[in-house]
Chains A and B, each alone.
Chain A
Amino acid sequence: MSADPRWGEALGHLPDYLGNHLRVSVTALALGLLISLPLALIARNKPVLRGALLGFASVVQTVPGLALLALFYPLLLALAALSLTWLGFSFSAFGFLPAVLALALYSMLPVLRNTITGLQGVDPAILEAAQGVGMTSRQSLFMVELPLALPVMMAGIRTAAVWVIGTATLSTPIGQTSLGNYIFAGLQTQNWVFVLFGCFAAAALALVVDQLLALLETGIRTRSRMRAALGGIGVLALVAATLVPSLARTQSTTIVGAKTFTEQYVLAALMAQRLRAAGLAASSREGLGSNVIFAALASNDIDVYVDYSGTLWANQFHRTDVKPRQELLADLKATLARQKITLLGELGFENAYALVMPKKRAEALGIRSIADLASRAGTMSIAGDYEFFSRPEWAGLQQAYGLAFRAQRQMQPDFMYAAVASAEVDVIAGYTSDGLIAKYDLVVLEDSKHAIPPYDAIVLTSPKRGQDQVFHAALAPLLGRIDIATMREANLRASGNDAGSSPDAVANWLWEKIGRR
C-alpha cells in the first residue's frame, strides 16, 4: 500500500487543497460569527425576532449543503451582472465567494441558538445583582451575561466550525478548491485512496479546530492562562495560515475545467498536459457541477472544457427539436459565438445516451436496432440513471419507436452495466463512451430514427481566449483524433483501481495512442 504512488500524488495536492479548504472555512466561520453574534444579542429579548431568526436558520439547515452551495452561484452571477451595469465593476461569482456565503449561512443556526440559549440561561438573580451593584445594561452584558453564557456559546461555535469544515468539501462543484476535490475525483475515478485521503484530511482538520476552540474555551472558563494561550495561538495560527497565499497555488494563467465524471477528469488532464507542453501554465478545476461549468466559462473563470453538443442543446439552450448532427453543431457554434464562446471543434467521439444490451443476447434474439427491440419490449425491463426517465431523450425514444417496457428501474450508473450483463435487467440506458460496454461485451442498439440528439464531445474556450492562437494551437492536435473505441478504453482504464488509473496516467496513455496515428 505504501508503494502505491497514489498516496504520494494525494500528498502532493495537500498544501493546495488543505490551504484552500482552510481559507474558505475560516472566512465563512468568521463571517458567520460576525453576523450571528450581533443578531443573537439584538434578538435575545425580542421573542418575535428571535423566533423568526431561529426559524430562518433552521430552514437554511434543512437545505442540503450541495444545493445551498449550488444556489449561491447563479444568485451571485446575477448580482455580479447588476453590479457591472450599476456600479461599473464586477466580481467573480465562481468558487470562493459563493462558497463563503453559503457556508456562513450554514454556520448560523448553532451560533444563534446557543448564544440565545446561553444568555437566557443566566440566573435572573445574578442579573438582578448586576443591576443592583450599579451596572449599566451594557456592563451587565459584557461583565456578567456573556462570560456566564460562554460555555454554551462556545459549544455552538464548535458545532458550527465542524459543520462548516465538513460541508466545505461540497464547495468543489462550484469551483472552490477544497479537500472535496479528493473525494469528488476519487469517487468518479474509483480512486479509493483519494476518497479516504480526503475524508481523513477533512475529519482531522475538523478535529483539530474543534480541539483548539475547546482549549480556548476551557482556558477562559477555568482561568488557565496556559490553555487559553495555547488555544488562542492555535486559532490565530490557522487564521494567519489562511491569509498567507499557499505556496502551492501557482498563479496559473489557464484553467481547465472538468465536470464530475471520469471521462471529464481524463480529458481535462489531457488538455492541461497539452497546454503545458506548449509552454502555458495550466491547472485544472475539477468536479464542477454541470450547471456551474458553462457559466464559469462564459464569465472567464475557467478557460476551456469539454461539453457535449446534445447537453448544451437541450439543457443550456432549452431546445426541444432534434437536428441532424452537422446542422446542430453549426447552429450551436453560432449560438455560442453570440456569447463570445469559441467552439474549437469536436474530439471525434460521442458520449450519448444509448440503449445497450448484452451482445450475445441481442444476436440470439436478432435485435440490432431500437426498432427491433420495440416489438419485444413488452416482456423486458429497462434500467437507467437517476435522470434518464425524466429527460426529453426518453420521451423522444418512446414516441419514435412506441417503446413500452414491462418495468423500469433507476440505478447508480456504475452498477447498471453489471446488472444488464448478469441479466438482472434486459436493457439499460447507458453512455456510448463508457468503457464498461467493451468490458462486459455489450452492444449499442442502433437509433435509426435519430430520436436521441447527437452528443459530440466538443471543446469550448472562454471569451478571454477567443483570439489566443497559442492556446488554440496547443489544443488543435486533439480535435477529431479520439474515436469512440479509444475513449471507451481510456474510460475503462481510468475506472480501474490501481496506479495506472489516475487521470494523468490515462491522459498520457491517450496522448501516446492518438499521437502515434
Chain B
Amino acid sequence: MSAVPLIAYQHVGKSFDGGRVKAVDDVTLEVGEGEFLAIVGGSGSGKTTLLRLANRLIEADGGSIRVEGEDVRAVDPIRLRRRIGYVFQSGGLFPHISVAHNIGITPKLLGTPAEEISSRVDELLDLVRLDRNQHRDRFPHELSGGQRQRVGVARALAAKPRIVLMDEPFGALDPLTRDALGDDFRALHKKLGLTTIMITHDMTEAVLLADRVAVMRAGRLLAEGTPADLAKSNDPYVGELLGTPRRQAERLAELLPKDGAA
C-alpha cells in the first residue's frame, strides 16, 4: 500500500429504516493509489452500500470518508461522481442512446467539446477492445452481455478518472466472458494507473483479480489483506469463503494434470 490512501473510510456507519438495519457498521478501510481492492460478502453484507458511500450515491450517517484527500461531505456530490468512474451491475446503459453517446455521457456533462468526445469514444472503444466502426452507433439492446459490460467500463473511464468503483461488474456474465473481461480490466487498471474498488460475492474472482481483499458480513469488516494474509485468518467465515477457491483449485489440479503426471 502506498503512503497516501486515495480512498479512506474511517469509522463509517450507515443504517436504513430508521436505524433498525445497520448496513455498514463502523468500517475503517483504506485504498492506496494504484491499488485494486475487492470487497467480498454475501447479499446483505453491506458491501454495495459501502461502495456507494464513496461517491455519495448514499450518504453516510457517521464517520468520515476521504477521497483524494478531501472529505466527501465538503465536495459537491455531482462533481464528485463525475470524477469517479462507476461500473454498474448489469451495465446500467441508457437504452435510448447509442453506444457512443453512452460512453461520452460524463464528458458531455462536463462540457467537453463534441469532437473531443468523439475521438475519446474511439480511443475508449479500442481500450475495451470493441470494434469502433461496428459498435459506435449501436444501441445497448443490440449488444451481448459482455459487450454491454465493456461499454459500461468504457463509460466509467471516459472522463479519465483516477478512481473506478465497480458493483459486481462481471456477476451476470457467462464464465468465459467473465474471465476474459476480468483479465482485460485488470490490464487496464495497471496500464492506466487506476485505483479500483470492486464488489463481488465470488471469492475466486476476488483472489484472482485483486491486490487486496476485504471481507464483509452483516455490515462489519471481518478481515482484509492480500490473499496470503487472509489465508492466515482465524475467522471461520473467512475460512469458509476461501474454502471454495481452494477446493476448486485442488479439484482442477486433479482433473487437469500437467505433464501427464496425476
Residues of A within 8 A of B93 (CB): 129
- One digit per residue, 1 when the CB lies within 8 angstroms of any chain A CB and 0 when it does not, for chain B 57-96 equals 1000000000000000000001101100010111011111
Residues of A within 8 A of B89 (CB): 125
Beta-carbon contact of B95 and A126 below 8 Å = yes
Interface residue? A411 (CB, 8 A): no
Interface residue? A45 (CB, 8 A): no
Q: Which size class do A's interface residues fall under?
A: 10 to 19
Beta-carbon contact of A133 and B106 below 8 Å = yes
Interface residue? A147 (CB, 8 A): yes
> How many of chain B's residues have a CB under 8 angstroms from any CB in A?
20
- One digit per residue, 1 when the CB lies within 8 angstroms of any chain A CB and 0 when it does not, for chain B 160-179 equals 00000000000000000000
Interface residue? A469 (CB, 8 A): no
Residues of A within 8 A of B82 (CB): 133-134
Query: Dominant SS at the A interface?
Result: helix
Interface residue? A148 (CB, 8 A): yes
Beta-carbon contact of B105 and A133 below 8 Å = yes
Residues of A within 8 A of B55 (CB): 132
Residues of B within 8 A of A135 (CB): 78, 105, 109
Chain A's nearest CB lies how many Å from the CB of B19?
Answer: 24
Beta-carbon contact of A133 and B81 below 8 Å = yes
Bound-state Cα–Cα, A128 to B106, Å:
14
Beta-carbon contact of A125 and B90 below 8 Å = yes
Interface residue? B150 (CB, 8 A): no
Given A133-B109, A133-B155, A134-B109, also A128-B92 (CB < 8 A): yes
Residues of A within 8 A of B110 (CB): 134
Within 8 A of B (CB), among A121-148: 125-126, 128-136, 139, 143-144, 147-148
Partner of B78, one of A125, A128, A134, A144: A134
Beta-carbon contact of B94 and A132 below 8 Å = no
Nearest B residue to A148 via CB reads B96
Interface centre among A131, A144, A147 (most CB of B within 10 A): A131
Chain B's nearest CB lies how many Å from the CB of A391?
Answer: 62
Q: Can you list 30 A-B contacts with CB-CB less than 8 angstroms, sorted by A residue number?
A: A125-B88, A125-B90, A125-B92, A126-B94, A128-B88, A129-B88, A129-B92, A129-B94, A130-B94, A131-B57, A131-B81, A132-B55, A132-B57, A132-B81, A132-B86, A132-B88, A132-B92, A133-B82, A133-B86, A134-B78, A134-B79, A134-B106, A134-B109, A134-B110, A135-B78, A135-B105, A136-B78, A143-B94, A144-B96, A148-B95
Q: Which A-B residue pairs are the 7 nearest by beta carbons?
A: A129-B92, A134-B82, A134-B81, A132-B86, A147-B96, A133-B106, A133-B105
Measured CB to CB, the residues of B under 8 A from A are 55, 57, 78-79, 81-82, 86, 88-90, 92-96, 105-106, 109-110, 155
